Chain A
Amino acid sequence: MTATSSTKESAEELDERLVRRSLVRGAMSRPELGAVVGALAVFVFFSVVADSFLETSSLSTVLYASSTIGIMAVPVALLMIGGEFDLSTGVMVTSSALVSSMFSYQMTANVWVGIGVSLLVTLAIGVFNGVMLSRTKLPSFIITLGTFLMLTGLNLGLTKQISGTVSTKSISDMEGFPAAQKVFASQLTLFDVDFQVTILWWFGLVAVATWVLLRTRAGNWIFAVGGGSDAARAVGVPVARTKIGLYMGVALAAWISGQHLLFNYDVVQSGEGVGNELIYIAAAVIGGCLLTGGYGSAVGAAVGAFIFGMTSKGIVYAQWEPDWFKFFLGAMLLLATLLNAWIRKRAEAS
């Protein structure tokens, strides 16, 4: 009796082990694995060196910081999987916020009208990037660098022309503002801690992007155009349409971030956003996207944004010498990415 049960158990154990191994192998081949391990390492590190890092209120702050990066990093990752760059993302967020704010104010319109106009304008910028790219066949680096500079100038020039100053007027007393603020910049209380609504937007975008990448035809197209656009075109993938779509995805996220910027602070400084584009790209790369395209994941980019958020706030929680902030940030990110690359190499070897 006992003998049979023990053999049965051992047989089950064997099965379980088999299952587990394939799970492990499955996990090992995922692009976000390295980033997840890197994130764990950063998390454990700051839990040890920073006293207040583990409190739920701190978690909320870290998640907020991560979400403002992550909302953009996710579509930027998709774009990079599709083999292209976008350097205009940082200022596009500001453009989107400015359009929304100034349209509502100048037309004395309900703020939702401004939000709608802003969505159209921002998507148009995305379409412009995508169409220019497919028509001219120039590197996206150059095209979007042009857009970046033009938008930086437009943000300043138009704001100054229309508002008379370099920041917009407050729209917090206008109709529709409270509702829009609920959607884009409110706090949700969970276990007595306030969490920013951007975290939900972020998670939502990750879910949608992952679904598109892994479960739809468009997802296959994205991997195909990133892997080699000529080969993709030869097998019938609509390359131009896919890339324009990807740029529109980035624009959509820029619109969400822009509306958050506007409704969180109710005035927008026109010079903001410069330099953020590199942070979004960095988050995607930390999360396992290749700079050459064809490889990466939305979850990875989200984890990359989380690593960035944890590191930049963790340094503050740890109360390190502020003059060295950028150095620590750079060093931590490099370490997290090295760990990521090392694990991936291991995984590929096994």
Chain B
Amino acid sequence: MTAALLAAGCSSTGGKKAAERESGAGGGKGVDTPRMDIAMVSHSGDGDTFWDIVQSGAKQAAVKDNVRLDYSHDEAGPQQAQLVQTAIDKKVDGLVVTLAKPDAVGPAVRKAVEAGIPVVTINSGAEHSAKLGALSHIGQDEKIAGEAVGAELNARGHEKALCLIHEQGNVSLDERCAGVADTFDGEVDNLNVDGTNMPDVESSVTAKLQSDEDVDTVVALGAPFAATAAKAADATGSEAEINTFDLNAKVVAGLKDGTIGFAVDQQPYLQGYEAVDALWLHAYNANELGGGRPVLTGPAIVTEKDVPRLEKYTGRGTR
């Protein structure tokens, strides 16, 4: 009876079984250097897809480099600084930190440097990194990424763009929109939406597209919001092309079926991986990456053409 019920309740399509049929991410054998402790402290909020990928990259490098990685995060500047302080207290062998809120986190980072802990900054805060005494900065310049988007929008012949800010007051999101506005020949309107409330994102984009029919492209600043913007555009019958920063499996599917025009990838996996690896290289071989300048991991414009290459990586959460 139960067996029959169970069988009736099964899905012959999709699900975990289908994914298992085609999966297969590999591990790797590590180095034989002594165990290192590295702390990674980011300004990520809870449940952020992007930081999940950064973390995967860092973990991969940690496995290879015989590193014990301790990841923590807090979106509030002062709390992030406290997390850095706990890493100093634990006398870690290396620190990876983001500088999205340089005023709050900067002093703690300087303390770490003074305590003799090698520091690599990632993602945001390129201009503050060297001043605080960090070895290297690995990330994407948000302004440059925005400018690349503006240029691509020009090439695609757009005239009015909507920049979709999913977290009001986030400096790097503002920089992205500012970058777009700098190089884009057309007009750019910003729209603030509540990123933790998907139906609100959808209805706000719908409202905006209904009230302003000149908008012919929407630029989402995070991958999860691109698919929602596409849904909203579809519902209003708007011809606006949806483009986005960052990748995830749904964005790649959107690129494939044409609901999304292009995406700007900053390779978050690389930021996590390279940061841990750079600290290992510093300990092992006194290497310093970047020569005092930021090492850029983006922007790379990704279109439909790149889909076959990327699909399996976004599926397993590393691109």
Contact = CB atoms under 8 A, between A and B. Distances in A.
Interface in A100-142: 104-113
A271 B211 contact: no
A211 to B, nearest CB: 27
Interface string B110-124: 000000000000000
B198 A271 contact: no
Given A156-B46, A174-B15, A176-B11, A323 B317 contact: no
Contacts of A313: 203-204, 207
Interface in B269-319: 316-317
Contact of A194 (B15, B224, B235, B317): B235
B183 interface: no
B52 A322 contact: no
Interface stretch (B78-86, B140-148, B188-196): B188-196
Contacts of A326: 168, 192
Contacts of B236: 57
B16 A166 contact: no
B13 interface: yes
A121 B169 CA distance: 36
Contacts of A169: 16, 19, 249
Contact of B47 (A108, A156, A322): A156
Nearest to A321: B190
A166 B10 CA distance: 25
Nearest to A156: B47
Closest 6 CB pairs of A and B: A271-B47, A108-B15, A173-B14, A175-B11, A174-B14, A65-B203
- How many interface residues does chain B have, given as a range? 35 or more
A165 B48 CA distance: 9
A65 B211 contact: no
A97 B41 CA distance: 30
Interface string B12-38: 111111110000000000000000000
A279 B14 CA distance: 36
B229 to A, nearest CB: 12
Interface string A159-199: 11000111101111111100000000001000000100000
Contacts of B42: none
Nearest to B52: A166
A147 interface: no
A302 B276 CA distance: 52
Given A61-B203, A108-B16, A171-B14, A55 B210 contact: yes
B250 interface: yes
Contacts of B248: 167
A342 interface: no
A338 interface: no
A238 interface: no
B103 interface: no
Nearest to B19: A169
B197 A269 contact: no
B196 A317 contact: no
B10 A261 contact: no
A343 B113 CA distance: 63
Contacts of A96: none
B250 A166 contact: no
A317 B211 contact: yes
A61 B15 contact: no
A41 interface: no
A227 interface: no
Contacts of A108: 10-11, 14-18
Contacts of A171: 14-15
Contact of A269 (B13, B49, B210, B249): B49
Contacts of A271: 45-48, 196
B196 A273 contact: yes
B313 to A, nearest CB: 12
A60 B192 CA distance: 21
8 contacts: A62-B203, A106-B15, A107-B16, A108-B16, A155-B47, A166-B48, A169-B19, A175-B13
